[in-house]
A and B are shown apart, each in its own frame.
Chain A
């Protein structure tokens, strides 16, 4: 019979790999870009890698709506709880370290050793930031000795919705996201080019973690296209532009001035000031008396 012939001949042929469709990650779901657009990621050795979604302005707006809705709940979670949720993500990353390394090799063409080192560094950094959740007030807060019968204290609070535009690497993505969300902000990440591959696998980790939907949203595509829209969006409070070309930063800052967005870029140093840059200090006064 025809069917048995086919099955016998496939014994000698290679098994056809089941490839992944790379979509966006918005509000805990994996939609395609509403624009229907994709872009091609290739590598010099293997050619075609994938067609990730090319996120549009509407996708950005949808992600901001999701991020805003999720933010206050995330900020209200106890610091211990936020720390555990982030640590749990690190546990899941560790289990998938090989997959991330393989995807980095595939998408960017670096050596397997280099890719593996990058993934392990990213996991360790994630753990480092996760541990900050319940130390921020100790490091950035204060009780202030004012000259009068008042109790006066300063506490750091998350700013709200933060956009991040990291450079085209998995480590840069982790470096941008972790300090922004650990304090209770929600994030819209704009992931450029080939970094989309590992980023969307990271989104699969997030989707099965306890991170509430909308706290972290990942859009893939072009910084040139997405970053100006993020800079001028009136419901984004802060913007990490570390991955944006130096020559293009000024125009983003001009656009961001419309709502006095906190726009920062960091040189790659791992520092708690990267967390505090997207927090606000609130000072409270209350009289002391009987």
Chain B
């Protein structure tokens, strides 16, 4: 028996998208000179025109941030700074549905995720950091730790507003001011956030948002008025940033790529594990740096688990991101779709076996069916390179030691998963895994109180929790 689901679209009437946006600098929107279109990746409909920020825009934004730092923000007490952050958190909660719909339109991710995960976490992030603002003496960094000054923040398109929150909330709580550049394809929620700053009466220049592409980001990284860089994106760009700031005193946190191993031991509860695997790789269309993109199965249960996984995957609903029943939305851009297609083809060419459930994919927009590859070896590109899409590479192991060796056999070290009913085995595996976040019997969970970040080439530093504050502060006395 098959269930037919009637369409259940979320109304987009709640959002009001302007035909054109400028940059948000010193508390007001300044028109840009050049523009580019931002589209809905599910329909290719043009949503708005976004300003392409150049050197002069970045200059203005940095000057505004410097002025705000010296004149207002650094003079405020932590208590008062915190109250601004609480205001922002509350306004975000009030306007949560508007943000969720706008994010889904601009990004392509399902409304179920923006509504239930992204936006609630955004508000939580501001609320959490608000409380830190007047308690920094207890962050383990000595007495009266000091901010760096102006933070240049460059964020990706996979969790647009959530990445903004991960960057802006700790920066403001610790007393820094901000110049932020959203990703080229997903600027709209950042620009709506600018309105939240206005409603919260945040002093002018404390948060500045310059939209644009990679060249705009480079202008921020190289600007001499920036004291600290916070970047989330690819390892390739992360290395470029590391080189660019080598001769400067700029501090940097880098949250980069991953190739997360999800290890399933033969005593794992298979039905729960299948849910965890699906969440690990198909959450947010697999556009997740910490995705569980390498499934490493103990041989005895591999066949049974793969069969169960296929049955579950056949029930994943791919389609209109605004539909409340949709599980898997649109790929964020044509460029990203080509990357996924290219790597999946490499999987075919190198001899792995591809499987996807039957899916009706719309001719318009960018889509990729949930996909698994079996018979993958460690030498295959799909086992080594980050695909950043709904594509799972499946490997197997016999001994626990072999599982760990395979899991750690990567230059990345962002996330890992372990599935087992045995406590001592989970703790053992957790100890052996070289990854900054280990999910045991769960996957892809996030919280502002929980530090996030990678080992090795997955980046520098942590975001969230007590550990995330350290990168925005100079050690006190």
Which residues on A are within 8 Å of B, measured CB to CB?
139-140, 142, 144-148, 150, 152, 154, 159, 237, 249-251, 253-254, 256-260, 262, 271, 273, 280-287
* Neighbour of B467 across the interface among A142, A148, A273, CB < 8 A: A142
A148 touches which one: B140, B426, B441, B445 (CB < 8 A)? B445
B452 on the A face (CB < 8 A): yes
In the complex, are the beta carbons of B467 and A281 less than 8 A apart?
yes
Q: Which of B124, B140, B430, B455 contacts A284 (CB 8 A)?
A: B430
Which of A152, A257, A281 is close to B246, meaning CB atoms less than 8 Å apart? Answer: A257
Q: Which one of A142, A145, A283 has the highest number of Cβ atoms from chain B below 10 Å of its Cβ? A: A283
Across-interface contacts of A250 in B (CB, < 8 A): 246-247
Asked, given contacts A285-B439, A286-B442, whether A148 binds B465 with beta carbons under 8 Å apart, the answer is no
Point out the residue from A237, A257, A284 that lies within 8 Å of B456, measured CB to CB: A237
8 A Cβ contacts from B436-471 to A: 436-442, 445, 447, 449-453, 455-457, 459-460, 462, 465-467
Instruction: Sort A-B residue pairs by CB-CB distance and give the 4 closest, nearest first.
Output: A250-B247, A253-B246, A257-B242, A146-B447
- Bound Cα distance from A256 to B245, whole angstroms: 12
Query: Which residue of A159, A249, A257, A287 contacts B243 across the interface (Cβ within 8 Å)?
Result: A257
Contact flag A142-B465 (CB < 8 Å), given A259-B457, A260-B242, A285-B445: yes
Within 8 Å CB of A139, what residues of B?
140
CB of A113, distance to nearest CB on chain B (Å)? 31
Within the complex, what minimum Cβ distance (angstroms) separates A66 from chain B?
20
Q: How far is the CA of A271 from the CA of B239 in the complex (A)?
A: 29
In the bound complex, what is the Cα–Cα distance between A147 and B462 (angstroms)?
Answer: 19
Chain A residues in 8 Å Cβ range of B238: 260
- Whether A146 touches B445, Cβ cut-off 8 Å, given contacts A282-B438, A283-B451, is yes
| B475 and A271 contacting across the interface, CB-CB below 8 Å | yes
CB–CB B462/A260 < 8 A: no
Task: Report chain B residues within 8 Å CB of A286.
Answer: 426, 440-442
Q: Which residues of A contact B453 (CB under 8 A)?
A: 281
Contacts of B457 in A (CB 8 A): 259-260
Show 6 residue pairs from A and B whose CB-CB distance is below 8 angstroms, ordered by the A residue: A145-B449, A259-B457, A260-B242, A260-B459, A283-B451, A285-B442
Contact A144 B435 (CB under 8 A): no
Is the Cβ of B435 less than 8 Å from the Cβ of A282?
yes
Contact call B450/A260, Cβ cutoff below 8 A: no
Known: A144-B451, A250-B246, A260-B456. A281 touches B440 (CB 8 A): no
Complex contacts, A148 vs chain B, CB 8 Å: 445, 447
- Chain B, interface residues (CB within 8 Å), range: 35 or more
A258 contacts B456, C-beta separation under 8 Å: no
Q: Contact between A150 and B442 (Cβ–Cβ < 8 Å)?
A: yes
Residues on B with beta carbons closer than 8 Å to the beta carbon of A146: 445, 447, 449-450
Residue in A145, A262, A283, A287 whose CB lies within 8 Å of B441 = A287
Given contacts A147-B124, A259-B411, A254 and B246 within 8 Å (CB-CB): yes
Question: Could you tell me if B140 and A260 are in contact, using CB atoms closer than 8 angstroms?
Answer: no
Closest to B452 in A: A283
Known pairs A253-B246, A257-B243, A257-B246; A284 contacts B438 (CB<8 A)? yes
In whole Å, how far is B237's beta carbon from the nearest beta carbon of chain A? Answer: 11
Q: Are B436 and A287 in contact (CB under 8 A)?
A: no
**Is B254 on the interface with A (CB-CB < 8 A)?**
yes
Query: Are A280 and B455 in contact, CB atoms less than 8 angstroms apart?
Result: yes
> Which of A145, A250, A282: most chain B Cβ within 10 A?
A282
Chain A residues contacting B256 (CB-CB under 8 Å) are 260
With contacts A144-B447, A152-B447 taken as known, whether A283 is within 8 angstroms of B438 at the C-beta atoms is: yes
Nearest A residue (CB) for B435: A282
Q: Are B411 and A281 in contact (CB under 8 A)?
A: no
Q: Whole-angstrom distance between the alpha carbons of A251 and B430 in the complex?
A: 36
Contacts of B442 in A (CB 8 A): 150, 285-287
A183 vs B438: C-alpha distance in the bound complex, in angstroms?
Answer: 20
Q: A144 to chain B: closest CB distance in Å?
A: 4
Q: Which residue of B lies closest to A146 (CB)?
A: B447
- Closest Cβ of chain B: how far from A158's Cβ, in Å? 11
Residues on A with beta carbons closer than 8 Å to the beta carbon of B435: 282
B242–A285 touching, CB < 8 Å: no
**Minimal Cβ-Cβ distance residue in A for B445:** A285
Q: Is the CB of A144 within 8 A of B411?
A: no
Question: Which of chain B's residues has its CB closest to A237's CB?
Answer: B456
Cα of A282 to Cα of B124 in the assembled complex, Å = 22
10 additional A-B residue pairs with CB within 8 Å, beyond A148-B445, A154-B450: A150-B442, A152-B447, A250-B246, A254-B246, A259-B457, A260-B235, A273-B475, A280-B413, A286-B426, A286-B442
For the complex, give the distance between the alpha carbons of A287 and B269 in Å.
14
| CB neighbours of B452 from chain A (8 A) | 283
